[in-house]
A and B are shown apart, each in its own frame.
Chain A
Amino acid sequence: MTEEELFRLKTEVVLGKNINLRLASENDAAFILELRLNPLLNKYIGQTDPSLEKQKEWIENSLKKITDFHFIIENKEGKQYGTVAIYNIDYENGTAEWGRWVIKPGSFVFFPVESAVLVLNFAFTKLGLKKLTGGANNKNIQVVNFHKMYGAVSSVDETHTWFLFEEQNFIKILKLFKKFHSIQINNK
């Protein structure tokens, strides 16, 4: 995929069953800041500079890179509910990380699982990646349990549980969560 094609991909919306994913823009800076500064949500994520300007700069920088897809999770009416991202993409080796998965309280119960499936599908199908990695603080037990459900845990150390998502295992995830998304499994 050429650089031009990748930038074009950045303008497309990933359509789901109950949610869509679209690239974050500067207009989302306040929402992202609100999410990341929420004490209920930021226990297990990296520290965030509280400056709105810094957040806008950060988003602008992300938009310029083909190695970073920072999505806003929104419902079908365009209301923002969270973020999820594919980043540190290495196109040569087909690898990347996925994370920045933060969803605000009060979201529809199945938004988190659908956003996970959509972002993985985007990475494997649209970006053509082969392997994704991620990690969660060991105390973030709900996220750890979630990834354990489909055997994505690759290792555990003193502080973190590390996950590995491979293209060939993705079909298992699609099947396990089939009721939460509208991706055609037959084509995989």
Chain B
Amino acid sequence: MEKKKITEIVTSTVCSLVETLPAEQKFIVDQNTILFGTGSKIDSLSLVSIIVDLEGVFSSDYGIDISLTDDRAMMRKKSPFDSITALVDYIEELTLEN
């Protein structure tokens, strides 16, 4: 799968979440958006929602099973949730192996 497509899916998933937020909590989503940790505007329940949504989309729409929260993801020096770019890179890595 092309990186562009992965970026589109990830960005769209995060944007869908942001759309549900009240005006004062909305934020602009870009490649540098931090998904979790210091500086993130996304809480843990919302991150779970993003992860479940993304894994669901890749599995049901593209037949690609990915796991974004296994030990491999969590133990990485650079967390896949540091930014949208980091998550896209990680998903690309997984899809190439799939």
Chain A residues close to B by CB (< 8 Å): 103, 107, 109-113, 139, 141-143, 145-146, 149, 176-177, 179-180
Contact = CB atoms under 8 A, between A and B. Distances in A.
B17 interface: yes
Interface of B: 17, 20-22, 25, 36, 43-49, 52, 67, 69-70, 81
Contacts of B22: 139, 141
A145 B17 contact: yes
Contacts of B70: 179
Contacts of B44: 103, 107, 109-113
Nearest to A146: B45
Contacts of A141: 20-22, 25
Where chain B touches its partner, the secondary structure class is helix
A143 B45 contact: yes
Given A139-B22, A142-B46, A109 B52 contact: no
A78 B76 CA distance: 26
A145 B43 CA distance: 12
Contacts of B67: 179
A149 B52 contact: yes
Contacts of A143: 45
Given A109-B36, A179-B67, A179-B70, A142 B43 contact: yes
Nearest to B56: A176
9 contacts: A103-B44, A107-B44, A110-B48, A113-B45, A141-B21, A143-B45, A145-B45, A149-B49, A180-B69
Contacts of A146: 45-46, 48-49
Contacts of B21: 141
A109 B81 CA distance: 11
B97 to A, nearest CB: 18
Contacts of B47: 109
Contacts of A110: 44, 48, 69
A146 B45 CA distance: 6
A177 B52 CA distance: 8
